[in-house]
Amino acid sequence: MESAVDQDQQWLLNCLSATLDPSHDVRSFAEASLHQASLQPGFGSALSKFIKKHWQEGEDSFEPPAVSIDEKAVIRKFLLLSLDDSHRKICTAISVAVAAIASHDWPEDWPDLLPHLLKLIKDPTNMNGVQGALKCLSLLSSDLDDATVPQLVTVLFPCLHEIVSSPQIYDKYLRAKALSIVYSCISLLGAVSGVFKSQTSGMVKSILNPWINEFTAILKEPVPSEDPDDWSVRMEVIKCLNQLIQNFSSLIQGDLTVIMGPFWQTFVSSLGVYVRSSVEGVEDSYEEQRYDSDGAEMGLESFVIQMFEFLLAVVGNSKLVKVIMNHLKELVYYSIAFLQMTEQQAHTWAVNANEFVANEDDLTYSCRVSGNSCGEEGIIAIVEAAERRIAESQQEKGADSAVWWRMREAALFALSSVSEHLLEDEVSGGKVGKLIEQMVTEDIKTGVHEYPFLYARMFSSVGKFSSVISHEVRDNFLYAAIKAISSDVPVPVKVGACQALSQLLPDANEGTIMPHIVGLFSSLRGLLSQASDETLHMVLETMHAAVTAGCKASAAIEPIVSPVILNTWASHVSDPFVSSDVIEILEAIKNAPGCIHPLVSRILPFVGPIVNKPQEQPDGLVAGSLDLLTMLLKNAPIDVVKTIHGICFNAVIHISLKSEDHAELQNATECLAAFVAGGRQEILAWGGDSGSTMQCLLDVASRLLDPSLESSGSFFVGTYILQLILHLPSQMAQHIWDLAAALVRRMQSAQISELRSSLLLIFARLVHMSLPNVDQFINLLINVPAEGSENAFVYVMSEWTKQQGEIQGSYQIKVTTTALAFLLSTKHPELDKINVQGHLIDSASGITTRSKAKLAPDRWTVMPLPKKILALLADALIEIQEQVPGGDNEDSDWEEIEAVDTEKEVDFLYSTGAMPSGRARYDHLEAMAKAFDRDDGDEDNLFSVSADPINEINLSNYLIDFLVKFSQSNRDLFHWLLQIPHLNTELRTLGDGNSTVITTQARESKDEDSDYSLIHCSVTGTGSGTFLGRAWRPTPGIVAPAGWSNDNHPKRDSLVEFREYKNIGPGANPAGQAKFVKQMTDEEVRPFLSLGYIVASEWLLPPLQPRLV
């Protein structure tokens, strides 16, 4: 038997050796032999592949034969015994195999895995074993779940701490590996902390102190040069701190002041290392080998990025940012130095414009976020730090330093990265404008070839801050930029010049531009022929700005620009981004005075043959040509539409009816919509036979609404049919029943929610067309069948009420919202018979995996259709209110309910829905209207909606007027309907202890008219000891369920009015309630369930749809 085993082993060794043979035939035969052997039981020549394919039946990658139980046991045993191999790469391969098996077998079928790894880790005499165990655990820790990580943390963290805290025994590589495991475990605990808050917080709290001490000890030492292992240790420490801040900020808040001192030492000392190695290039930054043999990140840049990630986490936390506010100026000062261009970047970008443009935004987030998140202090800090750095660079310049420009460029880079925030602040913006103006006026005198990157940054900075720079300087730089793109200057300078022109041209003085406009276009043509990849978009953007600025010279520029732009389009027709840029330029030319007719004459001879012979064209050309036609048709004069119709209309119809290409179908649909919008009734007569033309249009609609057509092909059918209804209403009225039935069938088969939304818009428009007899629309749909539903009206309203919140676009929202109001106002008896989807019932626990989602899919409440419609109307009005400039800016993030100050308590009360008393001010409502109805410049490619009277509706005023009239004419019905928005609200608490409250009452006297009334709400969450109400002032008056805290003022118990009615759950246990709690009868509770109790008709805006608060 042993001889047989030896023969098998020798055969295997021979095969493996043969795979290295120089002969192709020998290698191929050996590889085939190994493959055949791997299919036999007991063989596994390629272990990782063997485990993936044969270990676990039921996996997607499984292939027979399956590994037997005995074979698995032998493999597991030998793998564990091999973890202490002295060769690091072999150790890594073994660890990968162990981790792959553990994902299937541990802990149930491999209970001795963790004890064996812990045994290896605890033995400092076997460093190879420590290394193998750590590598294995680092792989395992990245795949743990919420069930296994608590078991692992308890027994593993003490061992890891021993390694990290013993630099005299364990080298930096092993300490970094141990820290990477700590990071993975903390990350997973953070991922499940939202569900298991108290458990994870308790676990992290129990292990935190010794690790904080170790973190500070590591960070307090200065950063050494050319020591990537040290950088890796620090990087893992900072990653751990980052996770703690993001997920356990309340636990680390007290320790952050202790950590920041050592971190600051690491941050500042690393700058010198970074400058010497990366900026000056005199030391090795190890960036060429950014990963060690295990695949872990290393290198100075990776380390620096992690430091900035940590700072961003601190700055982004409203509680923790206070720790660094006193040192914000120094932080930004040092951050600017990190923004200096490195030697490698300067070398690469000097010859590669694509790289220069693509890397423009690297590392700018350090300054950008400090200015964005630290408010006024952050803005001031950036300006002052930039001033200091610019002054320092001036001194270096005076001392004839060769690199004086680097810090100057970095300071401009920092200011430009926060230009929007600086310009919002008039004082800072004006100060920066003067600073930049003074600097660029001086530096423009330096040599462009000696300092190309400084020139590039000056150009782009002047463009971004043009609004606070004098006209004289702006005009000088505009002229300099025009000259630069036509001159023999370095590539970065031309990039900066293009960036400046894109910013300066739209607001430039006409007299300044016009003398140079022809030369500018000639230069841009030259750049366009040389551009590629990243630079192409930039040149096209500059071209678009130039076309818009030079529109008065349109007759002269069209022959210059159009041919080269069309050639660019033809060369990049399959690139959607370039094509979009090109079409925007052509549209700007089309809209310029006197250009549309020559442009159409130039494009039609090229596009006409393409769409008339689509089967002969290369991929993408037909779809792109249809896009061009649509652009020409939009808002075109009727004679242009007729000209295009004569050449292309029949071809577009044919493509719509025959093409199987979804891009062609989509673009043809939009093109036909543009034909109908531009030609209107006249389009029926242009073809000679109006009936035949109308039938063609209907045939296209029929194909696009065919349920068997994939949703992607029908994507724009809603836009198309909308144009038919708007512009050919009498012809479409004859086919309304068939249209409704086809729309329902298409909706039922649609796989794309946006398609369903666009079809719902058609139904909404049909509601408007049926005015004043909206009942006719309802009766129509009642008589249309719908598979799976009682009738089409039931199906449509079910889908409509589900999709309404997802509908986008001002026009679309106006059409659908007002249509819902019309439907509600009919009081049609069919409305009351329909129940639709209410709100989501939150019943999940733990991490919602795919398997859990299958076993426990989402559950929804059910509510009557009229009540749902009213809730949707209320939602629309509330959304308008939230868009009012200067309104309350509440934090949207979840916050723990813990011991908070008075101001935060008031904010929380507002977030739970407490409304101030008093009447709504009409100037506030008008602001709401302006916020919603401002022109957003994008109507999702709808055509001529501005001509639709619905587009003129001021939605906020309309809804207020509708709700007031509806409530006055149907008072009882209105009050009944308004109950639902208050029902099923979930109040979710996330804290423990006496400080956790839902509401806080602040009444100084009994005469103050304020109360809380919570109706049909549920209180859920984590922790214990939550109170629904708390006395905050001497005379509270609370009406609410659950519990009461007198806030350590027993006297207030005698003043409170606290009642409940049929509450259920642990918080409603009479044995645990305050003695003064009253149980109300059916008659006593009735007044509190009416909106008349709070005089709602005088002040209350429609309430919110049920939502989580």
Sign of torsion over alpha carbons 562, 563, 567, 573: positive
- Which long-range contacts does 517-520 make (Cβ < 8 Å, 24+ apart)? 517/546, 517/549, 517/550, 517/553, 517/556, 517/557, 518/553, 518/556, 518/557, 518/560, 519/482, 519/486, 520/482, 520/485, 520/546, 520/550
pLDDT of residue 769: 86
Separation CA 53–CA 57 (nearest Å): 9
Decide: 171 and 164 in contact? Cβ < 8 Å: no
Q: Convert the pLDDT of each residue in 853-900 to its tens digit.
A: 455 566 778 888 998 998 899 888 877 766 655 443 333 332 332 333
Instruction: Please compute, for residue 884, the number of CA atoms within 13 A of its CA located in the half-sphere on the CB side.
Output: 18
3-class SS of residue 986: strand
Cα–Cα distances in angstroms (integers) from residue 1049 to residues 331, 511, 1004, 1029, 1036, in the given order: 46, 76, 14, 14, 12
Separation CA 187–CA 183 (nearest Å): 6
What phi, psi does 891 have (nearest 5°)? -70, 125
Separation CA 535–CA 355 (nearest Å): 9
pLDDT of residue 1068: 63
pLDDT of residue 856: 54
**Residue 390 in domain:** no
Decide: 391 and 437 in contact? Cβ < 8 Å: no
Instruction: Please compute, for residue 807, the number of CA atoms within 13 A of its CA located in the half-sphere on the CB side.
Output: 26
What phi, psi does 98 have (nearest 5°)? -60, -45
| Residue 487: both structure tokens together | 């001159």
What phi, psi does 896 have (nearest 5°)? -70, 140
Q: Which residues pair with 1018 in a beta bridge?
A: 986
Q: Which residues 6+ apart lie within 8 Å of 10 measured at CB?
A: none
**Residue 1037 in domain:** yes
Question: How many domains does the chain contain in total?
Answer: 2
Residues (pLDDT < 50) of the chain are 1-4, 44-45, 289, 293, 363-372, 844-853, 886-941, 980-984, 993-994, 1032-1043, 1095-1109
Domain CATH number, residue 1023: 2.160.20.10
Separation CA 878–CA 913 (nearest Å): 12
pLDDT of residue 686: 93
Separation CA 569–CA 1023 (nearest Å): 61
**Residue 742 in domain:** no
Q: Convert the pLDDT of each residue in 396-421 to its tens digit.
A: 999 999 899 999 999 999 898 888 88
526 CB-contact burial (10 Å; exposed 0-12 / middle 13-18 / buried 19+): middle
Looking at residue 122, its amino acid is K
What is the CB neighbour count within 10 angstroms for residue 18? Answer: 17
pLDDT of residue 370: 45
**Residue 1012 in domain:** yes
Q: Which residues pair with 836 in a beta bridge?
A: 863
pLDDT of residue 278: 85
Length of the chain, in residues? 1109
DSSP 417-447: HTHHHHHHSHHHHHHHHHHHHHHHHHHTTS-
Can you give the pTM of this predicted structure? 0.70
Separation CA 776–CA 12 (nearest Å): 83
**Residue 201 in domain:** no
3-class SS of residue 1013: strand
Which one-letter DSSP state was computed for residue 949? G
**Residue 2 in domain:** yes
Cα–Cα distances in angstroms (integers) from residue 849 to residues 343, 852, 854, in the given order: 47, 5, 9
Which one-letter DSSP state was computed for residue 1058? -
Decide: 1002 and 1032 in contact? Cβ < 8 Å: yes
Separation CA 328–CA 322 (nearest Å): 10
Q: Which residues 6+ apart lie within 8 Å of 87 measured at CB?
A: none
Separation CA 324–CA 261 (nearest Å): 10
The residue behind tokens 């045994």 is 119
Separation CA 462–CA 477 (nearest Å): 8
Looking at residue 263, its amino acid is F
Cα–Cα distances in angstroms (integers) from residue 1081 to residues 990, 1067, 1076, 1086, 1088, in the given order: 33, 19, 16, 9, 12
Helix (H) or strand (E) holding 840: strand 835-841
Instruction: Please compute, for residue 421, the number of CA atoms within 13 A of its CA located in the half-sphere on the CB side.
Output: 22
**Residue 520 in domain:** no
The residue behind tokens 């009868």 is 1081
Domain extent, residue 1053, equals 980-1099
**Residue 1009 in domain:** yes
Domain boundary among 12, 27, 45: 45
